[in-house]
Amino acid sequence: GENVEQHPSTLSVQEGDSAVIKCTYSDSASNYFPWYKQELGKRPQLIIDIRSNVGEKKDQRIAVTLNKTAKHFSLHITETQPEDSAVYFCAAPQVNTGNQFYFGTGTSLTVIP
Amino acid sequence: DSGVTQTPKHLITATGQRVTLRCSPRSGDLSVYWYQQSLDQGLQFLIQYYNGEERAKGNILERFSAQQFPDLHSELNLSSLELGDSALYFCASSVAPKGDTEAFFGQGTRLTVV
């Protein structure tokens, strides 16, 4: 299946600082790249997504950038707050076998007050 | 509330047993995905159904099977359970067959095999 690698696996930042999480994918035909946030004991929820026809998308304090040539995309969180603490997953579809989502291994983000 | 309903929320069973997990997708969604999340692990894709048909298989064991019914709800059957099958099982639904639209997750079923 699609190989989605995510780094780092853990990330601690001071409140107010920025956090960046990076993912790479293997299927060059992938065309949709969502990011999910999972709080402890809860379901993953979409926070932002990007399609392959744009290079960047922003929604308030979060942004996602996509480099199709290098096959990587990144999540940027600015002015981090304690409630941003969670596990973040990137995902990419396996295009040639049904486009089901393959998720990265997750990044546990801790925002220190 | 995502609109995706999973039952039961918790399940405790013994090794060797068989269980069935149920998922009702959001109204209008035809795709259902099943994922397994073990402790401190990521989301492992198991299987996808679209409009009643199996569309893709991931890392699903032969002891596991699934189906999607005409009313679009889906069931994941886990048999000959082992301790290592203890995990959180999520289903997700989306409107399209392809993975290029948002997938909405249910709250998960926490399976504990003792």
pLDDT in tens, A33-46: 999 999 988 999 99
Q: Give how far the C-alpha of residue B73 lies from the chain's centroid of Cα atoms, to the nearest Å.
A: 11
pLDDT in tens, A59-84: 999 999 999 999 999 999 999 999 99
- Mean pLDDT for all residues in chain A: 91
CA distances for A23 relative to A5, A19, A98, B9, B25, angstroms = 5, 14, 21, 31, 28
- Assess whether pLDDT exceeds 90 at residue B52: yes
List beta partners, residue A92.
Answer: A102
List the single residue in A with minimal CA-CA distance to B97. A98
B104 contacts: CB under 8 Å, gap ≥ 6:
A46, B2, B3, B4, B26, B29, B92, B93, B94
List the single residue in A with minimal CA-CA distance to B6. A43
- Assess whether pLDDT exceeds 70 at residue A99: no
Percent over 90 (pLDDT), chain A? 71
**CB–CB of A101 and B58 under 8 A?**
no
Among chain B, residues having any CB pair with chain A shorter than 8 Å are 2, 33, 35, 41-43, 45, 48, 50, 55-56, 58, 90, 92, 97-108
Q: Which residue has the higher pLDDT, A13 or B45?
A: A13
DSSP class of B41: -
**CB–CB of A94 and B43 under 8 A?**
no
The length of chain A in residues reads 113
- Residue of B45, B53, B94 to mutate when probing chain A, most A C-beta within 10 A: B45
Residue A103's identity, in one-letter code, is F
Percent over 70 (pLDDT), chain A? 93
* Least-confidence region, from A104-113, B40-49, B105-114: B40-49
- Mean pLDDT for all residues in chain B: 93
